[in-house]
Structure 1
Amino acid sequence: MSDAAVPNDPQQRLQQLREAIDETDNALLQLLQRRRQLAAEVGTVKRSLGQPLYVPEREVKLIAARRSEAEAIGLSPDLIEDVLRRVIRESYQQQQAADVHLEDKTIVVVGGYGALGGLFAERFREAGAHVHCIGEGEQDQLAAVCANADLVLVSVPIAVTEAVIETLPQLPEHCILADVTSIKAKPLQAMLKQHQGPVVGLHPMFGPQVATLAKQLIVVTEGRDAPAYQWLLNTLIRWGAQLYQTSAERHDEAMGFIQVMRHLSTFVYGAHLASEKADLQELLDLSSPIYRLELMMVGRLFAQNADLYADIILAHPENFAMMRRYLESFTQVLGQLEQGDKSGFVEKFAEISDYFGEFSQKFLEDSQRLLASAGDAHQLSQVAGR
């Protein structure tokens, strides 16, 4: 726009600039639509080549290159990375069309009418497999549907997992027996005892609400005959999942901190808020993004299945001793503070900071990006609610 075309009236100039921004935004929309179309085509080609939906190395290189290019032209690299990550996440959902590669497989999902079992049953169907779902009260159908099964996946509540495994009929020698329970040692032992063929324990570290398995973590605990169940792992990788292999014992020990400790602490925090009759809306209104996010993480627990969380906590009674030690630590620190022992608190803070080491700075940087997104979402919801 030439200088002669710039109006003298500031209000007119503001309107002119806003219209130019609207035009630029429209151009951005067209570019995003074009990128979406290209991503869909990439997904088609990937499926034809049998390549995984998510390739971490490619994403890292892409973002690094765009950050460098953004910095070179005076744009914020963090801004470009935030935008790209959101666009890429949308691309993964776009690419997750029917990936037919399991036409020769017969799969039985015990608990396939449940939320998580249903998620896997649907994915297997999309991949072309012949899928049979078995629900509660349908055990009499197991023998018939398992006779030619290539995979039997157990997805039932923790409390009944071992009992369900023990009722399975004799499976074909080549058939994989797997479970998706959030504890691993006891179900794995039960599967190894019940079936002499390939056995593997899986723990999806996500809920059934996920739109895509891209970037989702699945823990794998080896049971028996890994080469024979490799096709199942390859399928999970092809869907974009990230696999982490460990022993059942190491898995269960880690889950004591990752699940049991967090779930119980969150439950008690929520229970205390309820008993104190805290005004949740006021807490939200007065909170910074970090505290708002923490409150959201507490609240989301109580929007989910109580039986599931009770089973996770009760599955390993040995974790109660660890929780007692946690309670003792809390009481000890509280006692220090009640006595006004600031120096003791600061000394302990420094000791714990040394334990976290370089993770502290990384966690700070990662959380800042989350908090920025959370802050934006909160402001939008506030405006929308007016």
Structure 2
Amino acid sequence: VVSFVPLFFLTGMEGRMLVPLGIAFIVALAASTVVALTVTPVLCSYLLGKDKKKEERESSDSYVARKMKQWYGAALAFVLGHKKIVLGSTIGLFVVALACFFTLGRSFLPPFNEGSFTINISSLPGISLEESDKMGHRAEELLLSIPEIQTVARKTGRAELDEHALGVNVSEIEAPFELKDRSRSEMVAEVREKLGTIVGANIEIGQPISHRIDAMLSGTKANIAIKLFGDDLNRMFTLGNEIKGAIQDIPGIADLNVEQQIERPQLIISPKREMLAKFGISLPEFSEFVNVCLAGETVSQVYEKGKSFDLTVRVRDDLRDEMEKIRNLMIDTSDGQKIPLNYIAEVRSAMGPNTISRENVKRKIVISTNVADRDLRSVVNDIQTRVDKDIKLPEGYHLEY
């Protein structure tokens, strides 16, 4: 026990992860001590009594032998009586433990208190940074109104080159807390109730370590990820919402969300191959023209006050902010003439998905949920039963949990 005491003085994430290990070890050691002081002596005495009884039968019927026989007879009677009680109690407790074992829930990790929340707030893709910032600020105010939370820190969006890039429609909030007059589950319920008043936002409540473990296991930041695979994103989004509606009343479900998927307007520029050949423009030249004009191309760097900046060539914003202006962009032909882009390409408006997620080359959409006040396995079993009963997937679509 003494060798594990230092674990209880660890602070931060290390302490929160390792203190339960120390508690488990000490409890196991205490149970082992109880067995060593009760069951083991009884068994040893019983075996010793049997050996002595055999020796007495073989020895002469001396005074000492008679006294020893009387003493061991009394001890043996006591031990046998004690043995029946101990064995009966042990067998009874084993049966009770076995019955409890089959009724216990199962989870990958037991729930523990990390002393901090990691809260994800996501709105529809396409929202402006200003509106997303207002939504995040409102969430901060609601969290700070809870007595156990004294401070919060928020990130809205992540850079495109970040390992886990996020749009400006997603905010991540870290909220350390100290429990006072109520349990953690009661405080979490109040957090969910208050954040649920934010209109147009999906809320996911986790903890720093378990949040990242969930992300490593399933690719999402929730306890349970239901991955729907298929081909048609619009149909997948509809099926995802059907699954959400079917399972939302299952006890223990919390923070139920469908991956945000909306169609956004976009321009499609398709080359007319016959016209390209007529004007002597190759496909690589056509592609380079579109990329340079609309996306821009870095051709050099300029230095100003000790800092370097990319020098990018592209068409002025006021010449590419409308579809008709893009159609009239002038491209060079093989003989040095200039012709409008719409001579050699079809420029049309269309709708397309904001994001396309894939896993093992298959398109997917995720229905995610956390678990509150229940074990993970039983909730997943209930979800699978409900989905199998109420949801009929088209051919070519399948689910993974």
TM-score range, shorter chain: under 0.3
TM-score (norm 2): 0.21
Which of the two has greater strand per residue?
Answer: 2
- Ranked by relative contact order (alpha carbons within 8 Å, sequence separation 6 or more), the top structure is 2
TM-score (norm 1): 0.21
Which has the larger share of helix?
Answer: 1
